[in-house]
Each structure stands twice: as structure tokens, then as C-alpha cells.
Structure 1
């Protein structure tokens, strides 16, 4: 009898931040993101010079957890989620551990988007969602095998999730998503009138 099984799984972690009993004040986190964006002139200049829609602190502020207690609290929560995901992935970390490499704010206005990309040199990447107005864009994840499919036909409409070339995940405010950093992903255009706010991060092995 023929046997067909799935190999080389791509895992996606999706959970509420409060999963481990350490709630983060959502209103304080959102207000902090907005205040930082307003005050961060270096970040504003970088966004303008690079044609970046909205605001990101990625190129300007590398020490948010040191500057703002709410981000230090957030990192403690994220550490627990990343540890849980690493356990699911059955990583053999030896004497090392996964530690935060960087963490940054993203504010996407109407019409803003983040093009498809990966996070080189990191192990786990992710995002937690601070403001997701009605109609805003989901996270789009790409099948990592796409570049090798060459002459393969397209999938049928309604194909099983694990066979689809792209998956769209619509998280709620207070959710955290984690994936391995080699997984290509993007944020399609924000069609909502209000800003989409998130905090993204990378973890490295050391």
C-alpha cells in the first residue's frame, strides 16, 4: 500500500502574550510606541531617506528594553515564548541559549507595507501586535520551497494548508507570532485608515 507523509515541517508559533501568566499593559505599550515614534528624530530621518512608509525604530534605537521599562517587561515575556518554541523545534542548543538580538517598533499608516524578506544571521524571529485596526493587513508567509519548484503546477484552490504557496495569518492585539528566521514573510498593504502597530524582534544563539 502506498504511503505518503509530510517531511521537513515549517513551524509557526501563535499564542497570546499572556500565555505564561505575565500580562503586558496593552495601552501602555501602544502609547509608548507612539511617543517613541514622535520623539525619535533619527528614526524619522532614516524612514524619510529610505522611503520607508510610516515609522520603524529598527535603524535608530537599539536599546528599547534599557530605555523603557514596558519593553524590558515585554522581553521577559518573549523569552518564555521563544524558549517554548525552541523546545517544540527540538533545537539542541548545547551549553548555549537563545537571547534577544534586537527589538524594534513598526508603525504602518494606510497604504504602508513591508516587502517580502528574511532575517539573516538570526535563529528565531517574530512579532507581537499592538494595534490591529479593522481591515488592516495580515502577515503573509511564503513556502520556503518556492524557489525550487521550477515547473510545478499551481495548487488547487482550497488545497490543504500545508500545501499552499502562501499562508496569511491575522493575529489579534496581544498575540505573538514566532517563526524560524529563514522563513520569508511580508506585510501586505495596510488598507485600514488607522495605523497598524507592532513590535518585531530577533533571537540569536550564543
Structure 2
């Protein structure tokens, strides 16, 4: 009898942010994101100069946990989630651990997108979701072998999820998603009239 195994699996971690760390008030976190976006002139200028729809603090602010205590609580929770994901991935960290590298706000307006990309030099990347109005776009994940498929036929529309070339994950407010940083992903167009708000982050392998 034939045996078919699944090899070289790509893992996606999904949980409620509140499962670890202090209780985080969703309304306070959302208000903090908008307050920072309103005051961050350098970030606004960067978005305008680079044609980035909406707002991101990625290129302007590196100290969100210091500016607003609620972001320090978010990091405390994320540290625990990332540690749990590392256990699942069976990483040999050689006595070291993964530490937060950067943390930034994303506010995507109606019609805004974030094109396909990955996060070089990091180990784990992810996002926690602050506001996901009806019609807000899912996270689109791409099979990392896409460039090697060459003459492969397209998958059937109803193919099993683990066999699809693209997987769309629809997070809810308060969810945290984690993946290995080499996994290519994008945010399709926001079809909602309201803004899609999230906080993204990278974790790196500590040097000592």
C-alpha cells in the first residue's frame, strides 16, 4: 500500500494575544496607535515620500514600548507567544533565546495594500490585530517553493489547504499570528471603508 508523507512543513502560529502576559485593553491599544500616528510627523513624511498608503511607524519609531506602557505589555505577551512557537519549531537555540528586534504600527486605509515581502535577517515575524472591520483584507501567505515549481500545473481551487500555493488567513481583533521570517506574505487591498490597524514585529536570535 502506498505511503504519502508531508515533508518540510511550514508552520503558522495563531492564538489570542491575551493567552499570555498582562491583560491588554483593545480600545486603549487602538487609541494609542492612532495617537502615535497623528504625532509622528517623521513617519507621515516617510509614508508620503515612499508612496506607502496610510501610516506605518516602521521607518520612524523604534521605542514604542517606552512611549506607551501598553506596548510594553504587548511585548511581554509576544515574548511568551514566540517562546511557545519556538518550542513547536524545535529550534536548537544553543542556550540563547529569541529577542524582539523591532515593533511597528500599521494603519491601512480603504484601498490600501502591502505588497508581497519577507523579513530578512530575522527569525520569527508576526502581527497582532488591533482593528479588523468588515471587508478588511486577510493575510495572504505564499508557498515558499513557488519559484521552484517551474512547469507544475496549478492546484485545484478546492485543494487541501496544505497543498495550496496561496493561503488566506482572516485574523480577528486580538489575534496574534507568527511565522518564520522567510515566509513571503502580503496584505491584499483593504475593501473596508474603515482603517485596518495592526502591530507587526520581528524577533532575532540573541547574540549571547
**With structure 2 as the length reference, what TM-score do the two structures score?**
0.98
Counterpart of 1:139 in structure 2 is: 139
> 5+ residue gaps in structure 2?
none
- RMSD, aligned CA: 0.7
Alpha-carbon distance between aligned partners in 1 of 2:58 and 2:43, rounded to the nearest angstrom: 8
Counterpart of 2:17 in structure 1 is: 17
* Pair 1:130–1:110, CA change in 2 (3 A): same
Alpha-carbon distance between aligned partners in 1 of 2:4 and 2:174, rounded to the nearest angstrom: 38
Contact conserved, 2:136 with 2:192, CA < 8 A, in 1? yes
Counterpart of 2:196 in structure 1 is: 196
Q: Deviations over 1:46-80 (max 9, x none)?
A: 00000000000000001101111000010000000
Q: Deviations over 1:103-150 (max 9, x none)?
A: 000000000010000000000000000000001100000000100000
SS at the partner of 2:30?
helix
Alpha-carbon distance between aligned partners in 1 of 2:168 and 2:24, rounded to the nearest angstrom: 26
> 5+ residue gaps in structure 1?
none
Counterpart of 1:205 in structure 2 is: 205
Counterpart of 1:73 in structure 2 is: 73
- Counting matched residue pairs gives 206
CA displacement at 1:20 relative to structure 2 = 2.5
Matched, 1:167 2:175: no
**With structure 1 as the length reference, what TM-score do the two structures score?**
0.99
SS at the partner of 2:15?
strand
